A and B are shown apart, each in its own frame.
Chain A
Amino acid sequence: MATNKKIRILIAKPGLDGHDKGAKVVSLALRDAGMEVIYSGLHQTLDQIIQSATQEAVDVIGLSIMSGAHLPICQKLKAMMQEKGLVHTKLTVGGVIPHQDIPKLQEIGVAAVFPGGTSFEDIIKGINSLFD
């Protein structure tokens, strides 16, 4: 049987910030790069994100965060992923992320960080490189 594998990615916006244009255009760019994007929209609780990632069996969770809460959110989500057995799922973050926070996010276990201004090309390359 010919395998037919594609990268599946959940795009989610945790918390209260209501700016989803970025998440939408990135979703389109990822689709155009041949990925299957599950777009789950605004105001996601971490429970919802975990449940969606589980049921959709995604390879990647892509969070879009503009609120400045990226460190606590990623820390908590990463712990929940561990607890729920999503051990092979990669966590990535984009949005308003100060550069000095990138090492901290990596330490938490975030696989890739795409701060505002990252080109589509680099996002796509970054996500593909997680599966080399």
Chain B
Amino acid sequence: MPDIKDILSGNQNAGAKLIRLIEDRDPSAHEVLKALYPHSGNAFIIGITGSPGVGKSTLIDALIAEFLKLNKKIGVIAVDPSSPVSGGAILGDRLRMQRHAADPNVFIRSMASRGQKGGLSRAAKDAALVLDAMGYDILIIETAGAGQTEVDVAGIVHCVGIVTIPGTGDGIQAIKAGILETGDVFILNKCDRPDSDAAEFELNMMISMRPPSPGSWKAVVVKTRALDGTGVKELAEVFLSHYAFLNQEGRLEQKRKNQEGKYFQSLVADLALEKIMSALETSKAYQEALQKMELNGTDPLSAAESVVGGITIGNFKK
């Protein structure tokens, strides 16, 4: 069991071991997380998302270099999908961030989604809490995906960066994927490609069509070429200016409160489901219903109803 003092003092070995317990869903992780919670809330958390191949990892590698110049400590959590067939995974994001692999101010952790919905696991949220408590100033959570995943990312980060490249279709693609509501910064990577001006124009147009609300952040489009670092300094500045914006008028505090409420809600749902399921699966009613389905040809809907119908919720007063 990793020592809380070691984690708070930034010991990478201790922090990494705790993150391992988190993703293995080891019950002992909960106790340590509870103790760390009061020490978190200091990091600026950026989500970087976009389709596979748009250059997210390479971009993060370049961003790390920029943030290091500002004497920041950077933590990266790179989520890749688990194979739905074998449950295994190849985690290759680290490959693009090798030049920072031995820098003591950088902590890079790859994480497999392990089949959790939305692609972004609760484990990523808890791992961010660990890195936050360890004293990393800026956390970057990288996820692949389009559509739903962005919404999940938005729930655990302070700033959503969406990476796209020129030539992936017309503006309708952006509307239908629903990514516009969640993006704070749109990054047009590989901007040396043809049509990048047109793509920038379309993104800006999309943003201008968002319903304006007073006092809210206006999304920004930044053109980059991660491979040679073009535009990455500007991108880092945009992220930091978003952070400065959030720090005004209690916006960040409000965001944290909202996210904490949602985190609580999802924890209750997870823990309740586990508790109920572990009781149900060993119950007589469950086994009987399963048997009836197999032997008597009872349909699954009736079988499930017969089990769940037997649950009484007694001790919760309104």
Contact = CB atoms under 8 A, between A and B. Distances in A.
A39 B24 contact: no
Given A38-B94, A39-B92, A45-B102, A31 B13 contact: no
A48 B106 CA distance: 12
Contacts of A34: 86-88
Interface in A1-48: 1-6, 8, 27-28, 30-41, 44-45, 47-48
B30 to A, nearest CB: 8
B interface bracket (residues with beta carbon within 8 Å of A): 35 or more
B94 A1 contact: no
Contacts of A30: 88
A76 B195 CA distance: 51
Nearest to A46: B102
A30 B110 CA distance: 17
B110 A31 contact: no
Contact of B112 (A2, A27, A36, A86): A36
B94 A32 contact: no
A51 B114 contact: no
A2 B25 contact: yes
Given A2-B274, A47-B102, A57-B16, A37 B90 contact: yes
B186 interface: no
Contact of B91 (A28, A33, A37): A37
A75 interface: no
B95 interface: yes
Contacts of A41: 95, 98
Interface residues of A, number: 34
Name A's interface SS: mixed
B18 to A, nearest CB: 9
Contacts of A33: 86, 88
A101 interface: no
Contacts of B82: 36
Contacts of B244: none
Contacts of A37: 88-91
Contact of A35 (B85, B88, B109): B88
A36 B95 contact: no
Interface in B107-126: 107-110, 112, 114
Contacts of A32: 83, 85-86, 88
Nearest to A50: B102
B17 interface: yes
Contact of B25 (A1, A27, A38, A40): A1
A34 B112 CA distance: 12
Contacts of A6: 24, 87-88, 112, 114
A50 to B, nearest CB: 8
Given A54-B12, A55-B16, A57-B20, A39 B90 contact: yes
Contacts of B98: 40-41, 44, 48
Given A37-B91, A57-B20, 16 more contacts: A3-B24, A6-B24, A28-B90, A31-B86, A32-B85, A34-B86, A35-B88, A36-B82, A36-B91, A39-B95, A40-B94, A48-B102, A54-B12, A55-B108, A57-B16, A85-B13
